[in-house]
Every structure is written in C-alpha cells, then in structure tokens.
C-alpha cells in the first residue's frame, strides 16, 4: 500500500529539548516536504527536498532542520523547540509538483512545546 509514515503522531516536549519527527515513504518519490498547519493559515511549507542530498527552505524554515540521506526518509529536526512551534505537522511526498503530480501526506504529528 502506498503510504507516507510519520512518527510520532503526538508529542509533548519542553522548550529547548531537541526532537526529531521521522518520515518515510514507499513510493520511490523524489520530492518530499514538510508542512505545518495552523488555524487560519492553512498548510505552509517548512522545507522540501527534490532528491537525495538536495534540500531547500520553504516558506517558514526558521527553527527547523532537515536531512535527506536516503530517498525514502526525510526527518524533521527541531534543535531547540519553542512554544511557537506548537503545531500540526505533515510530511508529504510526490513526483515533482511542477509536473502536476499528486502529493501524498502522512497522518500528521501534533506537537506541543511547553
């Protein structure tokens, strides 16, 4: 079954404690990205990766890091989380969006930073 799997689904952490949200896809997609969803703001892209070892900033990259060492995995790293990073996060994968490819999303990670 084609899917994007992200973990954990829920996470409560304290300010400044480094955390990683994992993301894995089984569709051999080149393009992966991370979004955050906030009330009234929709889905905003944090970082994206066009292929292995190729990553770039999205619209709201501050406070986040990513890596793409393998095609299937694209972890999101918060080195020093702050309360304004409390949000719902989605990992996504597709063939390059400019070609109109369908994007598949993970089930989401609800992060609370206290």
Partner 1 sequence: DQQVKQNSPSLSVQEGRISILNCDYTNSMFDYFLWYKKYPAEGPTFLISISSIKDKNEDGRFTVFLNKSAKHLSLHIVPSQPGDSAVYFCAASARGGGATNKLIFGTGTLLAVQP
Q: How far is CA 86 from CA 61, 92, 113, in A?
A: 14, 19, 5
User: Which one of 17-25, 63-71, 72-80, 98-106 is the stretch in contact with partner 1 (CB under 8 A)?
Assistant: 98-106
- Termini Cα distance of the chain: 36
Nearest to partner 1 of 36, 85 (CB atom):
36
Nearest approach, Cβ of residue 15 and partner 1 (Å): 26
Q: Kindly identify the residues of this chain, within the stretch 28-67, that bind partner 1 according to CB under 8 A.
A: 31, 33, 35, 40-45, 48, 50, 56, 58
Q: Kindly identify the residues of this chain, within the stretch 3-22, that bind partner 1 according to CB under 8 A.
A: 4
Report how far residue 35's alpha carbon sits from residue 45's, in angstroms, rounded to the nearest whole number: 4
Give the number of other CB atoms < 10 A from CB of residue 97.
14
């Amino acid at each position: 079954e084609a899917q994007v799997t992200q973990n954990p689904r829920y996470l409560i952490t304290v300010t400044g404690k480094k955390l990683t949200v994992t993301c894995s896809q089984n569709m051999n997609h080149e393009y992966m990205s991370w979004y955050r969803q906030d009330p009234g703001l929709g889905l905003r892209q944090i970082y994206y990766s066009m292929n292995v070892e190729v990553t770039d900033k999205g619209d709201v990259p501050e406070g986040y890091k990513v890596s793409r060492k393998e095609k299937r995995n694209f972890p999101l790293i918060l080195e020093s989380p702050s309360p304004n990073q409390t949000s719902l996060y989605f990992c996504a994968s597709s063939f390059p969006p400019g070609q109109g490819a369908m994007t598949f999303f993970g089930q989401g990670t609800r992060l609370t930073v206290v």
